[in-house]
Amino acid sequence: MMHSAATYFATLNAAVGDGWNRFWFTPASAATLGVMRIAAGALALYTIGAYGPDLQYWFSTSGMLPTEMIHELYPAQWSLWNYVGAGQLQLVHYAALAILALFTLGVGGRVVAIASAVIVLSYFNRAPVVSGAFEPGLAVLLVYLCIGRAGDRVSAQSALTRRMGGPDRLAVPTASNRISLRLIPVHVALVHLMMGLAQLSAAEGVWWSGEGIWLAAARPGMALVDLSWLA
């Protein structure tokens, strides 16, 4: 009986280990990451480009958000903009957009991917009071795209390799691609779990009584369909 129990736990341990390794480390193609890179890069270009007309207001030391005030309100925030003078704002902004464009096109590999994530985080950390729920999600996605080789597929670099007829070494599946692909949905699931727990633990139990659902449904401009008639 002891032998059977030992065999069972040994088999269970091996099965759990094999499943864990398959889930996280099975080599995967970068094709899905390539599509996500284009979407994330386009969103980053649009979001960061929108800061352009108001650079002096948001990032200048004499603007609406002085560095000292941001450090006082958010002491742990770090940004590249803390080291940029007022005369270099436009130049640095255009350089940032150029790097994000290279990332979107899939040029530069992981180095450009990391630079893009740092750039986006620097913008959001420098002006956190004008950020919403979208910006953190975009930043997290860009960070996870740095882990895999998102520029190996669906990119200008891979297209040029195929056009020249050379060996497409970038098409080789890698474990880092799988890790990146797994981390993104796991993080999204954890975010939704925390959102649900926060709602269920809200003061006075508004989500248990149904009041929270009613407020979300009846709030003007929030619901996709007018449900005020349910009152």
* Backbone φ and ψ of 23, nearest 5°: -65, -45
For 84-136, the pLDDT digits (tens) are: 887 889 999 999 999 999 999 999 999 999 999 999 999 999 888 888 888 98
Percent of the chain with pLDDT over 90: 45
Nearest one of 153, 75, 65 to 109, comparing CA atoms = 153
pLDDT in the model for residue 166: 60
Percent of the chain with pLDDT over 70: 95
Q: Is 40 left (phi over 0), alpha (psi -120 to 50) or beta?
A: alpha
For 148-192, the pLDDT digits (tens) are: 999 888 888 888 877 776 656 667 899 999 999 999 999 999 988
* Backbone φ and ψ of 107, nearest 5°: -110, 130
* Backbone φ and ψ of 172, nearest 5°: -70, 125
Predicted TM-score (pTM) of this structure: 0.82
Alpha carbon distance, N-terminus to C-terminus of the chain: 65
